[in-house]
Structure 1
């Protein structure tokens, strides 16, 4: 057995510990900032859809798309960095790179600079989710991998409603004569810096270190998990046979037979954001188009967003009880039903309920797909493969508002949602026909 295989086997055999929980919680807090920053798109779509807005439809569409265009570039770069230099390092860099553009966007005086800074933020925001899922897949025991990942997602998704409610609360108040959405960006920048620093307190992935040939560092990182679980880490007998183990070159890991999986996941990620990102992004504009004032539109986004956190939390309990592919099929059907209710109704209460239901289901669909993707690639290419695939999610996320917002204004909600439903159906066909079986409660090394 190689050292990398030995580390993987010992990690998988550990009971759940406080350190596992702390890492999952920290990842969830980081995702909170990521989600809050991204969901500002929904807030901005409402703010700048009000009559008299300084942005026209084209500028607003580019503003919504800019963060995702940045993500399409940043995700593969940080994914490569994660596989070559460590999961924790890449997560720290992604959080650090969120902060400065957030401050810049908050201080922007006109639309062009706001678009530029949102693009720069997106380069880091686009990478965080696949990096987080790869890190958690590396370190969590198989029995707890998916439930704790979903729990972290549930914590992270609270960023959506809370940032909307923060802007709703601050907009009429305008502390220091600063708009509410600018305050939200300042808060996000400060939190990003704090999370970047907090990642120093948790270990690097032992599995990733061993895969890169950093055997002594892998043993030290594993030792922290073992001690937290109440076990004394035994010496690894393979270390004596490894020359210069702490500085040896990382073994080269080719994609090889995993290219078909990469193409499959990348294609599904390209379709995914039309429902889970594009539709929520235009909800604010849709509420304005249905005749509701800005304050009620922001409130609907905020309360609707709590459905996302609830969905991920429920999924944490049942995620391993249903085959990954079946879960994605059932949730897609629910998304189509909730979207039709949003498109066809004008009752405020019914709209808020349908938005919450849509958010509830989207919060299950996205993370289950991400967990599924992380599980079907080996450690040596896990972050690179999932980040490359995730970059297509950002491409789809960039295209979606550019296409959906003009469609909403020109053809109405029903045509807009029909476009989204087609992407959901195509994703289902791809998973059903070509998707490998998921690895619920199994080792991530096949």
Structure 2
């Protein structure tokens, strides 16, 4: 078994943790954000086009549910399979696979001649999408310094969620038009495919995760990438300590963990709580994006006015993501999640009962804003729960539950909407969000701590990293 590469007694993981945030970190974060932009674009596309596709293909309840659910069923498979692959072959290789699948299938959606072809290619695109977010989360968790991990991961998602108002704007301007004789909704799929190709080219410049390389014994490669980050930090004024003690991580062999470790201590409680998070959160998060226009149509609003109101509501997504940047490293992640879920319950109820233009736009905007605080906190909290060797596997398996939950949502939310109206739908959403808020109170504390220290409370880290990690009044990682 290989041992971690050491510099001054430190493993690669410990060397990464002691670094300040550099321009190179920011560049890698921006590249990750670009890919996530087009994933978010695709995930919200079906909700924006729901009423249009319903009219174009004369869809009934079951068929519409299949169109809305197909990408998320594919994403479930992608999250499980590609998440595990990323822990075996590397984060970077997994990126390229996700983007290839997504771009090809999304382009095919633009030329779909019938609803069943559209469902098929949405499913294939979903496989690529399913692997994207777990791999992105893991890469950011692997490479970002502990004291800035929450802030810059939130920045990445903030940039990515600009895709949501872009989807709304394109829907408002293209739906109902035929540029060059091609239906506007087909152009919207084509835009997503083009973006994926551009992202594929940009991500060729990404390195492999040095923390992952170290975990699989590829020490020389891990050392080279870490040295590159250290050189960038020194060019920007950082000076490494003259001497540092050997850490526990540096003196022990790399351990390869099986999937079954997710259900052993100290991870059992975390696995249960994260499963609860990803099953319940999509009921509100994607329930809103998928049903917002249908809910307004049920209240008698036209397709055009519904898309206009939705576009204004969608502005809340990037603004909420920006709000998360301001709070992510100041407060415990689990309490941010609790507060955001509670706010989603209240604003969702307001949207479901809104009847005036002002009430619809304001409540919709507030819902999407707090929903993205929840989403960013959830992603960051997830990437902090497990050690490097199973981080993407765990994230993929657990996040796949969100895809199943999202895929299932149209099959019970649309009948509920048709039978009892928007108020009943968002009452259910509120109850589920409050249940999620309660569950998160049992989570572990993570803010400001090394991912290795969170994964193993007995891990020793260097004094410099420890000093930064304890700048906040936190208790031990496993304290609820």
- Which TM-score bucket, shorter chain as reference? over 0.9
Equivalent of residue 201 in structure 2, options 197, 204, 229: 197
**1:442 equivalenced with 2:442 (yes/no):** no
Task: Tell me how far apart the structure 1 counterparts of residues 415 and 358 of structure 2 sit (CA, whole Å).
Answer: 26
Tell me the CA shift for residue 41 of structure 1: 1.5
Give the 3-state SS of the residue equivalent to 1:126 in structure 2.
helix
User: 1:233–1:91: structure 2 CA closer, same or farther, 3 Å change rule?
Assistant: farther
Task: Tell me how far apart the structure 1 counterparts of residues 175 and 4 of structure 2 sit (CA, whole Å).
Answer: 58
Q: Deviations over 1:285-307 (max 9, x none)?
A: 11111212112211222221111
1:306-317 alignment runs, 5 A limit: 306-317=315-326
Hey, what does 2:274 align to over in structure 1?
265
**1:395 equivalenced with 2:365 (yes/no):** no
Q: Deviations over 1:20-45 (max 9, x none)?
A: 11111111111110011110111122
Q: If the length of structure 1 is used for normalisation, what is the TM-score?
A: 0.92
CA contact (8 A) 1:269 1:389 kept: yes
Gaps of 5+ in 2: 242-252, 454-480
Hey, what does 2:250 align to over in structure 1?
none
**1:374 equivalenced with 2:379 (yes/no):** no
CA contact (8 A) 1:277 1:397 kept: yes
Tell me the CA shift for residue 233 of structure 1: 9.7
Task: Tell me how far apart the structure 2 counterparts of residues 100 and 6 of structure 1 sit (CA, whole Å).
Answer: 40
Hey, what does 1:3 align to over in structure 2?
5
Give the 3-state SS of the residue equivalent to 1:127 in structure 2.
helix
Equivalent of residue 151 in structure 2, options 147, 152, 155: 147
**1:78 equivalenced with 2:82 (yes/no):** yes
Once structures 1 and 2 are overlaid, which stretch shifts more, 105-114 or 121-130?
A: 121-130
Q: Deviations over 1:146-186 (max 9, x none)?
A: 11111111111111110221122122431112122211111
User: 1:189–1:67: structure 2 CA closer, same or farther, 3 Å change rule?
Assistant: same
Higher helix share: 1
Hey, what does 1:39 align to over in structure 2?
44
Hey, what does 1:244 align to over in structure 2?
none
**1:109 equivalenced with 2:109 (yes/no):** no
Equivalent of residue 57 in structure 1, options 37, 58, 61: 61
CA contact (8 A) 1:127 1:387 kept: yes
Task: Tell me how far apart the structure 1 counterparts of residues 181 and 58 of structure 2 sit (CA, whole Å).
Answer: 18
CA contact (8 A) 2:211 2:388 kept: yes
**1:220 equivalenced with 2:229 (yes/no):** no
Equivalent of residue 365 in structure 2, options 356, 359, 363: 356
Give the 3-state SS of the residue equivalent to 2:331 in structure 1.
coil
Once structures 1 and 2 are overlaid, which stretch shifts more, 297-306 or 66-75?
A: 297-306
Task: Tell me how far apart the structure 2 counterparts of residues 173 and 111 of structure 1 sit (CA, whole Å).
Answer: 20
Hey, what does 1:294 align to over in structure 2?
303
Q: Deviations over 1:319-376 (max 9, x none)?
A: 1212112111111111111111111111122201211111101101012011111111
Hey, what does 1:275 align to over in structure 2?
284
Q: Deviations over 1:41-68 (max 9, x none)?
A: 1112232355x75111211111111111
Task: Tell me how far apart the structure 1 counterparts of residues 313 and 22 of structure 2 sit (CA, whole Å).
Answer: 34
Task: Tell me how far apart the structure 1 counterparts of residues 274 and 354 of structure 2 sit (CA, whole Å).
Answer: 34
Task: Tell me how far apart the structure 2 counterparts of residues 333 and 162 of structure 1 sit (CA, whole Å).
Answer: 27
Tell me the CA shift for residue 251 of structure 1: 4.9
Hey, what does 1:245 align to over in structure 2?
none
Hey, what does 1:318 align to over in structure 2?
327
Equivalent of residue 423 in structure 1, options 429, 432, 438: 432
Task: Tell me how far apart the structure 2 counterparts of residues 303 and 179 of structure 1 sit (CA, whole Å).
Answer: 24
Task: Tell me how far apart the structure 2 counterparts of residues 70 and 403 of structure 1 sit (CA, whole Å).
Answer: 19
CA contact (8 A) 2:99 2:200 kept: yes
Q: Deviations over 1:230-250 (max 9, x none)?
A: 36999xxxxxxxxxxxxxx98
**1:30 equivalenced with 2:30 (yes/no):** no
CA contact (8 A) 2:79 2:400 kept: yes
Task: Tell me how far apart the structure 1 counterparts of residues 424 and 171 of structure 2 sit (CA, whole Å).
Answer: 30
Tell me the CA shift for residue 119 of structure 1: 0.9
Hey, what does 2:470 align to over in structure 1?
none
Hey, what does 2:465 align to over in structure 1?
none
CA contact (8 A) 1:143 1:441 kept: yes
Task: Tell me how far apart the structure 2 counterparts of residues 207 and 22 of structure 1 sit (CA, whole Å).
Answer: 18
Once structures 1 and 2 are overlaid, which stretch shifts more, 292-301 or 334-343?
A: 292-301
Give the aligned length.
430
Task: Tell me how far apart the structure 2 counterparts of residues 230 and 262 of structure 1 sit (CA, whole Å).
Answer: 39
Task: Tell me how far apart the structure 2 counterparts of residues 90 and 268 of structure 1 sit (CA, whole Å).
Answer: 25
Q: Deviations over 1:67-93 (max 9, x none)?
A: 111111110111111111111221221
Q: If the length of structure 2 is used for normalisation, what is the TM-score?
A: 0.86
Tell me the CA shift for residue 208 of structure 1: 0.7
CA RMSD of aligned residues (A): 2.0
CA contact (8 A) 2:284 2:429 kept: yes
Give the 3-state SS of the residue equivalent to 2:257 in structure 1.
coil
